[in-house]
Amino acid sequence: MKEKFQKIFITVGTTRFDRLIESLLLPNVISALHEIGCKQLTIQYGRYHDLDQLNLFQMLPGIKVNLFDYSKSFSNHIHDADLVIGHAGAGTVLEVLRMNKPLLIVINDDLMDNHQQELADELVENNYVKCTDIENFVQTLRKFETKNLQQFPQHDPLLFRNFIQNLSTMEIKS
């Protein structure tokens, strides 16, 4: 049976990613959201400025939509989601993966050096995330499954401290 993702959180971070926001209003994307079981869509739209477009989200049939530009409770939105869809900003990616939430990265091709692609490629290679671009977003969304995703290693706050201590011990012995 196909996985269902009732609560989906979409985030664009602090950079503009208008193409992702606008794609969410396309009939084939709305259809794909219904197919994967979306009942609640939370969209962090960042610097997107077309308020008329944003108002259209309230008319999506069968999907409750929450919209905001930025939030102090960003982590809560990730925690509540069954699926996170977003850009490949390092901060966002790490926060999502540390919460063990499935992540579909949509590459923002509008960025000049497209540094996000490098991070996304590495994460895909290790099966931590799925990745797509705007052109293939609908197909990837429809086929999205978590069964082959690997759990991201948990953060070890002592790792760096221990590394530094070991370095200083080595220098003293030398």
How far is 27 from 25, CA to CA, in rounded Å? 6
Answer whether 20's CB lies under 8 Å from 47's CB.
no
Q: Locate all alpha helices (DSSP H) within 15-89, ordered by sequence.
A: 18-23, 27-35, 51-56, 74-80
Q: Which residue has the higher pLDDT, 22 or 2?
A: 22
State how far the alpha carbon of 76 is from the alpha carbons of 95, 96, 152, in Å: 11, 11, 19
The predicted model gives 137-165 an average pLDDT of 87
- Tell me which DSSP letter residue 136 carries: G
Q: What would the pLDDT profile of 29-56 be if each residue is shown by its tens digit?
A: 999 999 999 999 999 999 898 888 888 8
In which element (H, E) is residue 106 found? Answer: strand 103-106
The predicted model gives 20-25 an average pLDDT of 94
Q: What is the pLDDT of residue 15?
A: 84
How far is 20 from 12, CA to CA, in rounded Å? 8
How far is 99 from 143, CA to CA, in rounded Å? 22
Q: What is the pLDDT of residue 172?
A: 55
* CATH superfamily, domain at 7-173: Glycogen Phosphorylase B; (3.40.50.2000)
**Burial of residue 103, with CB atoms counted within 10 A of its CB: 0-12 exposed, 13-18 middle, 19 or more buried:** buried
**Given pLDDT bands bounded at 50, 70 and 90, which one contains residue 133?**
very high
Phi then psi for 15, rounded to 5 degrees?
-90, 165
**Given pLDDT bands bounded at 50, 70 and 90, which one contains residue 170?**
low
In the block, tokens 């969304």 appear at: 141
Q: What would the pLDDT profile of 78-128 be if each residue is shown by its tens digit?
A: 999 999 999 998 999 999 999 999 999 999 887 767 778 888 999 999 999
The predicted model gives 55-66 an average pLDDT of 91
Q: At what angle are helices 90-98 and 115-125 packed, to 10 degrees?
A: 20
**Given pLDDT bands bounded at 50, 70 and 90, which one contains residue 173?**
low
Residue 141, token pair as written in the block: 């969304």
Report domain extents, the chain: 7-173
